[in-house]
Amino acid sequence: MNKKIKEKILKGVAASPGISIGTPFYYVHEILSVSRETVPDYEIELEIQKYRVALEKTKEQILNDKKNAAKRGGGEAGKIFDAHLLLIDDQVLTDEVIYFISIHNVQAPYAVSKVMKDYQTAFEKMQNQYFSQRAFDIEDVCRRIVKNIISEDSQLEQSTVLKGKQIVVSNNIYPSDTLNFNKDLILGIVTEYGGKTSHAAILSRALEVPAVVGATGITKWIKKASLIIVDGYTGIIILNPKPSTFESYKKRQHEEIKQVEDDLKYSILPSITLDNQKIKIMCNIQSSLEIENVIKWNSDGVGLFRTEFLFESSLSILSEDEQFKIYDDISEKLYPREIVIRLLDIGGDKLNDKISVKEDNPFLGVRGMRLLFHNPDILKSHLRAILRASGRNNVSIIIPFVANITEINKTKIIIEKIKKELINEGYKINDKIKLGIMIEIPSVVMIADAVAKIVDYFSIGTNDLTQYVLAADRGNERVSYIYDSFHPAVVKMLDMTIQAAKKGNIPVGLCGQMAGYPIAIPLLLGLGLREFSVTPFLVPVVKKIIRRLDTNECRILAQKCLKSSTARSVTAILSDFFEKKIGENPLQ
Question: Residue 113: which of 54, 27, 162, 45 has the closest Cα?
Answer: 54
Provide the pLDDT for residue 328. Answer: 95
Class of domain 8-30+157-249: alpha beta
pLDDT-based confidence at residue 7 (cuts at 50, 70, 90): very high
Provide the pLDDT for residue 123. Answer: 75
Query: What's domain 437-583's architecture?
Result: Alpha-Beta Barrel (3.20)
Question: Residue 67: which of 55, 56, 57, 77 has the closest Cα?
Answer: 77
Q: What is the pLDDT of residues 102-132, one digit of tens each?
A: 999 999 999 999 999 888 888 777 655 556 6
Active site residue 199: yes
Question: Residue 367: which of 435, 420, 440, 298 has the closest Cα?
Answer: 440
Phi, psi of 265 (to 5 degrees): -65, -40
pLDDT at 195 over 80: no
Provide the pLDDT for residue 356. Answer: 55
pLDDT-based confidence at residue 72 (cuts at 50, 70, 90): low
Query: What's domain 307-433's architecture?
Result: Alpha-Beta Barrel (3.20)
Q: What is the pLDDT of residues 570-582, one digit of tens each?
A: 999 999 999 999 8
Q: What is this structure's pTM?
A: 0.72
Query: What topology is assigned to 41-150 in CATH?
Result: Enzyme I; Chain A, domain 2 (1.10.274)
pLDDT-based confidence at residue 155 (cuts at 50, 70, 90): very low
Looking at 82-96, 368-382, 410-424, 449-463, which range is the least confident one? 82-96
Q: Which helix (H) or strand (E) holds 26?
A: strand 24-26
398 Cβ contact list (under 8 Å, min separation 6): 304, 340, 341, 342, 343, 435, 436, 437, 438, 457, 459
Q: What is the mean pLDDT of the chain?
A: 87
Evaluate whether 273 touches 545 at the Cβ level (below 8 Å). no
pLDDT at 293 over 80: yes
Q: What is the pLDDT of residues 257-278, one digit of tens each?
A: 887 787 778 888 999 999 999 9
Looking at 214-218, 395-399, 476-480, 529-533, which range is the least confident one? 476-480
Provide the pLDDT for residue 64. Answer: 85
Looking at 237-246, 327-336, 574-583, which range is the least confident one? 574-583
Looking at 40-44, 190-194, 350-354, which range is the least confident one? 350-354
Domain boundaries, the chain: 8-30+157-249, 41-150, 307-433, 437-583
Bigger pLDDT: 30 vs 391: 391
pLDDT at 35 over 80: yes
Q: What is the pLDDT of residues 412-445, one digit of tens each?
A: 999 999 999 999 999 999 999 999 999 999 999 9
Active site residue 511: yes
CA distances from 197 to 34, 36, 111, 340, 443 (A): 31, 35, 30, 22, 31
Same-fold call for 41-150 versus 307-433: no
Across residues 492-496, what is the average pLDDT?
98
Provide the pLDDT for residue 120. Answer: 85
Most trustworthy range by pLDDT among 34-48, 65-79, 111-125: 34-48
Looking at the chain, the whole-number percentage of residues with pLDDT higher than 90 is 57
In the set 84, 283, 382, 511, the catalytic residue is 511
Provide the pLDDT for residue 27. Answer: 86
pLDDT at 302 over 60: yes
pLDDT-based confidence at residue 199 (cuts at 50, 70, 90): low
Instruction: Enumerate the β-bridge partners of residue 504.
Output: none
In the set 84, 199, 382, 487, the catalytic residue is 199
